[in-house]
Structure 1
């Protein structure tokens, strides 16, 4: 199986929506590609098509007047069209030939169809671009939905939350490619020492200006190094790290912390680095818990207790036991679209409403687990008021013994990271 074939087959699986999760599906196909360059191109093609699907389909449908009904052929065309539009280093003839060869394995007739569509796209690029620009003057949001490739409901939702100008800045940034983001394990190594090691191994990197314990690795696979195996860092986005970083004094004073939805573990590890007590890391998924345990061993933490617990189910053993409760809850994940562009196409407005209600139910449990005078940190990796500010307001309306200390939206276009929301709430009374 070659790179483009792997990409088209994965996208076909996504189109059918018969997969348990994008990460596991990517890994399944990754394992079939041995060459590192092939793997990198595979990720580029898959993420690229998902990032710009509406725009790619506009080009295809412009020349295929009746559309493309065969989903396999459609995804072959999508992969090839992404190459034609965005990957200038690949010759156009190579893209067309490769797509035709893959199509030929399905049907010689379809090979001719694919060849005709792609050659027409090459010939008519300027005409297609001019056609798209004309839509801009007639229906601006439809133009944005095609050009930036987002479902219309998401454009409308972010406009309702932040205004159209801000929504567009967010959407444009979420189409950029994220670097690898790592968090230094300060229990094992300091910034200067790790930076020296990265330079020895010729990694290009940048230290984040908002949190100097976050390093962006710009080139190379750092997970395959001894630095990873020795537990000198773990993967974490800046946005997620700010829950603890912006409230470090609170966490230093805490003796007992619970992370209700801990996997993959970033905030749990942040806590373990600074607190004098211990962290209870919970999740309902056994596979995720096993990965969490492996990382705890690799990183060398001895103050984390792993517990299988469903955040949605009330646990009487946790009642009023904790100084801090971290509730980084299930959400639509719109802030993480840079890393997971499939989120654009597998969420709906109904998901926003459903997750808002789920968040409230989990926060009701979280409130009970907190000691008097304790702090509840509610966070999401999404954007939009319904799952963020409105969830907090509804919680406060139900729980009169809580007050809002602060809340922050981490706008991705401003912080150059995932979109994120952090709310800090205090339970009345003395500890």
Structure 2
């Protein structure tokens, strides 16, 4: 069988008898794991990229991200090409077929090489009997490619979202749902945050322009939009802490909270730390960054070191305050709640596969516990900014409305001067083509309760 040298890599350098695994075998295994919801896409790509060079990592990412964006269309095409459904134990063959179809139909790869390599992957994955099947299916797709790509007979295949999510977005945003679904299927923009302690935004844009990088001011005060993504390490001043990568919708969180010098601020659910660092760039404050994952806290530490900033890092569950809170109330809390991530599907296309109506209900319950717990850590007169990267009202304005019903000492504050839609219980930003991701913001202030429990 023919193969491409750049696509062949040993799966491990240890052991002389180890079988070589091509990039396409890695891709099939990633897609198979996603089909079985074993892990998320980013974690799977990290696992399968350990021994790959940068070019191979990029190719693996392109295949897997692209398949997730075309998931339901590819599923329908595969169903048409197979005479009968594959057995549950042979679902790896489904992943192989989808990878092959995507490369042939969307990446413009050489047909002979693609077919040959994916036929070989059947052997790598212990299904040598399926060589003929994969060969026949992929060659049939080549013959019918134009016809099959044009056919989209259901809402799922048209929009490449699960039906429950299409219905939810349409019901939630009847005037905007089509644009949202389109934005979820495109490549996201790359946005930077300029460190205001070290340089001016306009000066940095001028620096990028002299290097041939097209850039413009974003909506947030420190944001810079790049016309095309670039390797982050190639950015002027990145290693020195002059600039960071952060979506502009996420940047607005720190702007809204408006940290002041000498304040004690909690950044709850803080990883990967963009907001933590932005708060410290904006003020000489004491920031405690809390996250349930010690591993994710290490990413915050890396960013703090690069930017020359300091924060206290705590690994704990925000809802279990007895395990981490020292009983000293915070002046301000930035609470980025765990959510469905339906506002960042263009960055994490596997969200449409990993989320369900059942998991959404579980997330809402978790949000409620974290909201109530962190509210207790806030001083009277202090402010709590609640954010999510969701566009679903159940996690956003409905959650805030119910919170206000439970807490008579909470007052919702109007947020002025930011892009988004007023929901009566916060501001919702929907994903925009050149701008920010889908994001929700609600700013609450704690007031002094009276003797009967009603706030003054």
How high is the TM-score relative to the length of structure 1? 0.88
Q: Which residue of 2 aligns with 1:307?
A: 314
The total of aligned residue pairs comes to 413
Question: Does the C-alpha gap of structure 1 residues 201 and 130 become closer, same or farther in structure 2, counting only changes over 3 Å?
Answer: closer
Report how far residue 416 of structure 1 moved: 3.1
Q: What is the aligned-residue RMSD (CA, Å)? A: 2.4
Q: Which residue of 2 aligns with 1:40?
A: 58
Q: Which residue of 2 aligns with 1:228?
A: 238
Matched, 1:61 2:61: no
Q: Which residue of 2 aligns with 1:371?
A: 379
Q: Deviations over 1:338-363 (max 9, x none)?
A: 11111111111112111112111111
Matched, 1:170 2:190: no
Q: Deviations over 1:49-108 (max 9, x none)?
A: 1111110111111121313332221111111111222223x2333322222232344444
Question: The residue matched to 1:45 in structure 2 has which SS?
Answer: helix
Residue number among 118, 124, 127 corresponding to 2:138 in the alignment: 118
Looking at secondary structure, tell me which structure has more helix per residue. Answer: 1
Residue number among 411, 419, 436 corresponding to 1:403 in the alignment: 411
Check conservation: 1:206, 1:216, Cα contact below 8 A.
yes
Matched, 1:156 2:156: no
Residues in 2 aligned to 1:393 and 1:362: alpha-carbon distance in whole angstroms: 15
Residue number among 99, 106, 119 corresponding to 1:86 in the alignment: 106
Q: Which residue of 1 aligns with 2:421?
A: none
Residues in 1 aligned to 2:430 and 2:261: alpha-carbon distance in whole angstroms: 29
Report how far residue 286 of structure 1 moved: 1.5
Report how far residue 125 of structure 1 moved: 3.0
Check conservation: 2:159, 2:182, Cα contact below 8 A.
yes
Question: The residue matched to 2:432 in structure 1 has which SS?
Answer: helix
Check conservation: 1:207, 1:213, Cα contact below 8 A.
no
Q: Which residue of 2 aligns with 1:139?
A: none
Question: The residue matched to 1:44 in structure 2 has which SS?
Answer: helix
Residues in 1 aligned to 2:379 and 2:163: alpha-carbon distance in whole angstroms: 44
What are the residue-to-residue correspondences of 1:24-423 with 2, within 5 Å?
A: 24-34=43-53, 36-69=54-87, 70-88=90-108, 90-105=109-124, 106-129=126-149, 131-132=151-152, 135=153, 143-163=154-174, 165-199=175-209, 202=212, 204-217=213-226, 218-223=228-233, 227-245=237-255, 247=256, 250-252=258-260, 255-302=263-310, 304-315=311-322, 317-319=325-327, 321-406=329-414, 407-413=426-432, 416-423=435-442
Check conservation: 2:197, 2:282, Cα contact below 8 A.
no
Q: Which residue of 2 aligns with 1:138?
A: none
Report how far residue 271 of structure 1 moved: 0.9
Residues in 2 aligned to 1:260 and 1:58: alpha-carbon distance in whole angstroms: 41
Residues in 2 aligned to 1:309 and 1:131: alpha-carbon distance in whole angstroms: 49
Q: Deviations over 1:89-132 (max 9, x none)?
A: x2333322222232344444422111111111122234435653
Can you give the 5+ residue segments of structure 1 that lack an aligned partner in the other structure? 136-142
How high is the TM-score relative to the length of structure 2? 0.84
